[in-house]
Amino acid sequence: MRRVSVFGATGSVGENTFDLLSRRADIQVVALTGGRNIARLAHQARALRAEIAVTAHDDCYDALRDALAGSGIQVAAGTQALIDAADRPADWVMSAIVGAAGLVPGLRALSQGATLALANKESLVTAGPLMLACAARHGGRILPVDSEHSAVFQALVGEDIAAVDRVVITASGGPFRAWTKAQLETATLAQAQVHPSWSMGQRITIDSASMFNKALELIETREFFGLDPAQIETVVHPQSIVHALVGFRDGAMMAHMGMPDMRHAIGYALNWPARADLPVPRLDLAALGQLQFEAPDPDRFPALRLARHVMELRGHAGTAFNAAKEVALDEFIAGRIGFMDMARLVERTLDRLMSDSALSAPVQALETVQAMDQMARRVACDLASRPIV
């Protein structure tokens, strides 16, 4: 029996993972973790007969214990309990917490040699070298679950990375693809929360509207595949059918296509290196009729320009970028800053930290990553408390 844990089981990626695991009889579920949606976490734990269910919130402990009473399933709560759950031996671990909070559980899972199915792109952006070194040291492995990175990974099977000329990850363009800069200044939370082609959690949906999600993914591509920033591009593709393309030295391009359904990428990581049946809709190109591609616009979507800067800087720039972005997103969701202020806030945070030698120091330890994460959050909060425009 393969032992499997899911971190962030009650989220959008978590629910898709739950759907696939529910169809399997050959898997023993070890730990399932979630936040405040206790009813959903308890339902999943009972349905999959998990060994332990963990809520990230101490104050949700009693509710989870009551919901699982009589089931024989262990219950725990809090940050340390999440880490302890990641230390439980498992062969395959889904990392689907949102934000930098996914980093430590992911590292712990890699430390015990697990295969980490990585949806949590923030951990690669914030501490890519640590994640890869941890996997290498302990015999663990990272399989990308972000759809674009899964697509690149699949296009590279049997290929030599040295033969790669460039990688192109696609972007849907989000709900504001055709908006002017002036319109973008007025974009509301309600408008940013609607994605045209993917159904996802609230934070990544808004990040898709601002293209901060694509910015994170450009950096994720650099960290995971070790490519030069000049080799990594994005193209806007509103249908979200082509997920990524890999261009080789001989001019050939391998495109990965599929309907926009995360069970493709999750299922690929679950069955890897084999391919197995997946309950996903099949692609009918004739019914679709046409696929569109457009150049991205870093002027209207400055997150793309900032990602270039971060990829060039490396060091702890990804850590600072991700932390500042998380603060900016919180501020926008709370209604305290405007849509375009998010990029301004991130840019100013990076500018402020440029004089700090820690920003350019190579990422080698969790402590320095956490220190930079905290410092960037403090600077971003401080900047957000003053007028931005």
Question: Can you give the binding site for Mg ion, defined by CB under 5 A?
Answer: 146-148
Q: Is residue 8 involved in binding ligand NAD (CB under 6 A)?
A: yes
Rounded to a whole number of angstroms, the minimum distance from the CB of residue 373 to ligand NAD is: 13
26 CB burial (10 A radius; 0-12, 13-18, 19+): exposed
For ligand NAD, the binding residue among 29, 101, 266, 323 (CB under 6 A) is 101
Q: Is residue 34 involved in binding ligand NAD (CB under 6 A)?
A: yes
Q: Is residue 122 involved in binding ligand NAD (CB under 6 A)?
A: yes
For ligand NAD, the binding residue among 201, 229, 298, 338 (CB under 6 A) is 201
| C-beta nearest to Mg ion: residue | 146
Looking at beta carbons only, is 57 or 356 nearer to ligand NAD? Answer: 57
Binding at 77: pick from Mg ion, ligand NAD, none (beta carbon under 5-8 Å per type): none
Looking at beta carbons only, is 32 or 383 nearer to ligand NAD? Answer: 32
Under rule CB under 6 A, which residues in 251-290 are in contact with ligand NAD? 262
For ligand NAD, the binding residue among 56, 125, 219, 345 (CB under 6 A) is 56
Binding at 200: pick from ligand NAD, Mg ion, none (beta carbon under 5-8 Å per type): ligand NAD
Place of tokens 């940013």: 192
Q: Which residues of 320-353 are buried (b: 16+ CB within 10 A; e: fewer)?
A: bbbbbbbbbbbbbeeeebbbbbbbbbbbbbbebb
Q: How far is Cα 125 from Cα 121, in angstroms, rounded to an integer?
A: 6
Q: Is residue 217 involved in binding ligand NAD (CB under 6 A)?
A: no
User: Which strand (E) or helix (H) includes residue 148?
Assistant: helix 147-155
Q: Is residue 35 involved in binding ligand NAD (CB under 6 A)?
A: yes
Looking at beta carbons only, is 111 or 197 nearer to ligand NAD? Answer: 197
Q: Is residue 206 involved in binding ligand NAD (CB under 6 A)?
A: no
- Enter the DSSP assignment of 323: H
Structure tokens given for 253: 């391009």
For ligand NAD, the binding residue among 120, 208, 239, 319 (CB under 6 A) is 120
For ligand NAD, the binding residue among 51, 146, 326, 341 (CB under 6 A) is 146
The residues, any chain, with a CB within 8 Å of residue 83's CB and separated by 6 or more, are 104, 105, 108
Bond from prior residue into 273 cis (ω within 30 degrees of 0): yes
User: Do 371 and 358 touch, CB atoms closer than 8 A?
Assistant: yes
Which amino acid is located at 283 in the chain? L
Rounded to a whole number of angstroms, the minimum distance from the CB of residue 230 to ligand NAD is: 25
Binding at 97: pick from Mg ion, ligand NAD, none (beta carbon under 5-8 Å per type): ligand NAD
| C-beta nearest to ligand NAD: residue | 11
Looking at beta carbons only, is 326 or 341 nearer to ligand NAD? Answer: 326
| Closest to 187 measured CA to CA, from 67, 339, 292, 61 | 339
Q: 257 in helix, strand or coil?
A: strand
Under rule CB under 6 A, which residues in 72-91 are in contact with ligand NAD? 82
Structure tokens given for 303: 């997150």
What are the φ and ψ backbone dihedral angles of 147, each rounded to 5 degrees?
Answer: -60, -40
Q: Please report, in angstroms and rounded to a whole number, the separation of the first and last CA atoms in the chain.
A: 57
Looking at beta carbons only, is 322 or 349 nearer to ligand NAD? Answer: 322
Rounded to a whole number of angstroms, the minimum distance from the CB of residue 109 to ligand NAD is: 14
The residues, any chain, with a CB within 8 Å of residue 124's CB and separated by 6 or more, are 118, 131, 219, 220, 223, 224
Q: How far is Cα 334 from Cα 235, in angstroms, rounded to an integer?
A: 31
Looking at beta carbons only, is 105 or 348 nearer to ligand NAD? Answer: 105
Looking at beta carbons only, is 4 or 211 nearer to Mg ion? Answer: 211
User: Do 51 and 88 touch, CB atoms closer than 8 A?
Assistant: yes
Q: Is residue 140 involved in binding ligand NAD (CB under 6 A)?
A: no
Q: How far is Cα 118 from Cα 149, in angstroms, rounded to an integer?
A: 10
Q: Is residue 171 involved in binding ligand NAD (CB under 6 A)?
A: no
Rounded to a whole number of angstroms, the minimum distance from the CB of residue 4 to Mg ion is: 22
Binding site for ligand NAD (CB under 6 A): 8-14, 34-35, 56, 82, 96-99, 101, 119-122, 146, 198, 200-201, 203-204, 262
